[in-house]
Structure 1
Amino acid sequence: MKGLRLRVWVDVNTPKQVRFFKPVVEELEARGLEVLVTARRFREVEQLARLVGLSYVPVGVYGGPGLEDKLRRSLSRALKLLKVVRGWRPEVALSFSSPEAARVAYGLGVPHLCVNDSPHAEAAARLTVPLSAKLFAPKCVPLEEWTRYGISAGDVVQYDAVDPAAWLKRLPPLEVERERLIVVRAMEAYASYVRGGRVDVAVEAARRLVGEAPGFKVVVLARYWSQVVELRRRLKGALIPTRAVDGVDLLSRSCLFIGGGGTMTWEAALLGTPAISCAPVDGVYVEDYMASLGLVRKARAVEEVVEEALRVLSSPERWVDEQRRRAREALEAMEDPAEVVASFIESTASRPSSGTA
């Protein structure tokens, strides 16, 4: 390390990364390091960053669902990032498998530190893990899932936690009264690892529960503006927010969460909210780990999700009490991923990359 004023560039691409990197940035700055945060323009990223108070330089835009559009906008964003960071001269780059950050950092000879909990997202992993000096990942993901992407096992730093622990371990005890709310997170429809034409099980379950769970309000969280428009047309009787919401506040007041993705499902579970995971892919190690702790219920078919949901809703207070107990024990036992990442950056000397391209 070149001293306490080490310059760390952090690149943010998704709402989850806003949550994850906010405490990392705070830890780094508290240790006297300089931090530059860049983020792409994307509806939920920008809105959530404002909600949590993460300052950033906007660079580039989201690529959308099409492969060619993703490629064009990724290439354009990489060039724009180059202009921003070249003058700032970072000594370390940090991202959650950002292809643009990894490529720019490698090209400039800046060590890229990668965070990733999703080896099933092959495109992002292939474009970032081989270019990274170190990879930070949950311990529940086997090392061989990362070494197949070209990084050595010795360069993988594991933390005994799931990613939401980075922000949830910093919260004061939440004594919030539960409301009769069912929160549903729509499926990630545009990610490269999701096959087209998949039925959004979470949304279909929400449609059923609007009619089959009287007395409960169904809130469906869309990921993209196109989803907002479509869901408002299809789901009469459900609430579809048009802006990013404070997930911690909403989930801590709810009595059931149904997730068509990953991070918010783990977040809900650790906040003591009974959580059903109907993610569109199988073999997700974090999902299996959370299920093994009794914190998440896995269901893949609409009928399974609805049946499990109605079982929880038949006695929500009892289910919430049990979930809270398990969540409290699990979260207390987990490491703080933000602390792990920040401590490594502070204690490790900046090394030159293995080469430039």
Structure 2
Amino acid sequence: MKIWIDLTNSPHINFFKPFIEKWQNNGIELIITARDLANTISLIEQEGWSYEEVGGHAGKSTLKKLAYFPKRVWNLKSYLKRHKPTIGISQSSFYSPVVCSFLGIPSIYLNDNEHAKGNHIAFLFSTVNMLPEFLAPYSKKIFWIRNNKFQFYPGVKEAIYLNSVFEFFDISDSPTKQKKIFVRLEPWTAQYYSGDGSFVENIIQQLESEYPIVILPRSKEQAKHLNNKEFRNVEIRTSPLPLKEIFQECLFFIGAGGSMTRELAILGVPTLSIYQGELLEVDNYLIKNKLMTYHRNPSGKLVEKLIKASDSSRNEDIFKKGELAFNMINEKVKNLG
């Protein structure tokens, strides 16, 4: 069996890490393609994986995305025809199921973002769509489920890999040096995002005199923009930080985006989502289960109040579900491949 994985965004590296380790240990050949978006390429290189870079990001414009889509599909197809994979799997790569269909091989498509417009293309072309359990009612409501192509795994996607990667890493292992507030910026270029591009700056200015703050930008443009601001007690990271390092040093996490915010919340780090777009079902799931807090426009005083009231305990049930989901996905790859 030869598995093709298409990595189209930086959170996909952590998601596929335990799968890649397992498959490599079992002697399975892997073909990894990636596009140059956010920190995707640098994170792949940190892992030391062999990969082929195919394309970048088309920008926020829907028209540009539509024009770019067939170009990358064609480039992927041309590359993969020479390498002959037997199955393709991706987390929210809309390209992967289409390319697999053209190559005549099975595909597994995973996604937990019900607002992504590319889902409609991916659902149509994939062999099987695997979504988290909390999307089952939504899928029935909007008539996604019209055939047997959908399967639902337990829990949330972040728990699938966090259960493996951080199984023996305890929050009490954190260093004794002063802990920091980490701020993950909003996805300016994402098609699904419609928030104000600079609202986070107000929160930073209110907190920087009391806490050391580390800003995690998504792009060089964001880093450049914030470097021009007159912050005092603020560090702007221009290269990606390993999640474990963030976990170790993090007193409180403020996330204007998605995956990283959920990761820290699931790991037991006190987390505030300030996402400005329409909340996803996965976020509602975590908020309902008291794994994170949500406020669109918090004040510095509210953040300080949340820090004082924070609880760093983990929800072990969500990790058990992560293990079950990992095994379910891995078994599906074996059966189809």
TM-score for the superposition, normalised by structure 1: 0.85
Alignment CA distance shift 1:203-1:74 (3 Å): farther
1:11 aligned to which of 6, 16, 28:
6
CA distance in 1, matches of 2:287, 2:113: 16
1:126 aligns with 2:154: no
Cα shift at 1:291:
1.1
- Residue correspondence of structure 1 range 161-176 to structure 2 within 5 A: 161-170=155-164, 171=166, 172-174=168-170, 175-176=173-174
CA distance in structure 2 between the aligned counterparts of 1:137 and 1:54, rounded to whole angstroms: 26
Query: Equivalent residue of 2:169, what SS?
Result: coil
Q: Which residue of 2 aligns with 1:338?
A: 326
Residue in 2 that maps onto 1:159: 153
The 3 A distance-change label for structure 1 pair 265 and 69 is same
SS of the aligned residue for 1:248 comes to: helix
- Are 1:251 and 2:210 matched, yes or no? no
Change (3 A) 1:349 1:49: closer
**Offset at residue 110 of structure 1 (A):** 1.9
Instruction: Tell me whether 1:278 sits opposite 2:265 in the alignment.
Output: no
Counterpart residue number, 1:353? none
Matched, 1:94 2:94: no
The answer for the alignment partner of 1:180 in structure 2 is: 179
Q: Which runs of 5+ in 2 are unaligned?
A: none
Contact 1:207–1:235 (CA<8 Å) still a contact in 2?
no
CA distance in 1, matches of 2:201, 2:317: 29
| Cα deviation 1:43-94 (Å, max 9, x = unaligned) | 5001111223333221112222333443444333222211111122222111
Cα distance in 1 between the residues matched to 2:123 and 2:143 = 6
Cα distance change of structure 1 residues 54 and 143 upon mapping to structure 2, 3 Å threshold? farther
Contact 1:139-1:159 at 8 Å conserved across structures: yes
* Distance (Å, rounded) in 2 between the aligned partners of 1:277 and 1:66: 26
1:145 corresponds to: 139
Q: How far 1:255 moved relative to its partner?
A: 0.7
Task: Give, in whole Å, the separation in 2 of the partners of 1:159 and 1:226.
Answer: 37
Q: In 2, Cα distance between the equivalents of 1:264 and 1:87? A: 35
Q: Is the 8 A contact 1:59 1:80 kept in 2?
A: yes
In structure 2, how many angstroms separate the alpha carbons of the residues matched to 1:274 and 1:68? 39
The code of the aligned residue for 2:242 comes to: D
Q: Take 2:22 and 2:201, find their aligned partners in 1: how far apart are those partners?
A: 37
Structure 1 residues 147 and 51, CA gap change in structure 2 (3 angstroms): farther
Shift of 1:151: 5.0
Indicate how the Cα distance of structure 1 residues 7 and 148 shifts in structure 2: closer, same or farther if over 3 A, else same: farther
Residue equivalent to 1:190: 189
Distance 2:12 2:43 in 1: 10
Mapping for residues 163-312 of structure 1, pairs under 5 Å: 163-170=157-164, 171=166, 172-174=168-170, 175-177=173-175, 179-195=178-194, 198-211=196-209, 214=210, 216-234=211-229, 236-237=231-232, 238-303=234-299, 306-312=300-306
Structure 1 gaps, min length 5: 1-5, 351-357
- 8 A Cα contact 2:183 2:216, kept in partner: yes
Q: Percent identity among equivalent residues?
A: 22
Structure 2: distance between partners of 1:78 and 1:108 = 11
- Which letter maps to 2:90? S
Residue type at the aligned position of 2:333 = I
Quickly say closer, same or farther: Cα 1:150–1:111, change in 2 above 3 A: farther
Of residues 108, 112, 134, the one that matches 2:107 is: 112
* Structure 1 Cα separation of the partners of residues 75 and 205 of structure 2: 42
Structure 2 Cα separation of the partners of residues 129 and 290 of structure 1: 25
Q: Pick the aligned partner of 1:80 from 72, 75, 78.
A: 75
* Contact 2:32/2:51 (8 A) holds in 1: yes
Could you tell me how far 1:140 is from its partner in structure 2? 1.7
Q: 1:57 aligns with which of 48, 52, 55?
A: 52
Say if 1:235 and 1:119 are closer, same or farther in 2 by CA, change over 3 A. Answer: farther
What letter is aligned with 1:84?
Y
CA distance in 1, matches of 2:317, 2:136: 20
Structure 1 pair 218–29 and aligned structure 2 pair: CA distance change class (3 A): same
Cα RMSD of the aligned pairs, angstroms, is 2.3
Paired residue type of 1:252: Q
In structure 2, what residue type is equivalent to 1:156? F
- Bigger mean CA deviation after superposition, 82-91 or 29-38: 29-38
CA contact 1:258–1:275 (8 Å) conserved in 2:
yes
- Alpha carbons of 1:203 and 1:23: their partners in 2 closer, same or farther (altered >3 Å)? farther
- C-alpha change, 1:147 and 1:294, in structure 2 (3 Å) is closer
Structure 1 residues 269-297: Cα deviation after superposition (integer angstroms, max 9, x where no partner)? 12221000111223411111111221100
Corresponding letter in the other structure for 1:188: P
Instruction: Please tell me whether the aligned partners of residues 201 and 260 of structure 1 are also in contact (alpha carbons under 8 angstroms).
Output: no
C-alpha offsets along residues 188-217 of structure 1, whole Å, 9 cap, x if unaligned? Answer: 11111122x625444432232224xx1x11
Aligned partners of 1:11 and 1:38 also within 8 Å = yes
User: How far did residue 100 of structure 1 move?
Assistant: 2.1
| Cα offset, 1:311, TM superposition | 0.6
Q: Distance in 2 between matches of 1:129 and 1:235?
A: 46
8 Å contact kept, 1:202–1:258 = no
Provide the secondary structure at the position in 1 that maps to 2:13: helix
Change (3 A) 1:32 1:263: same
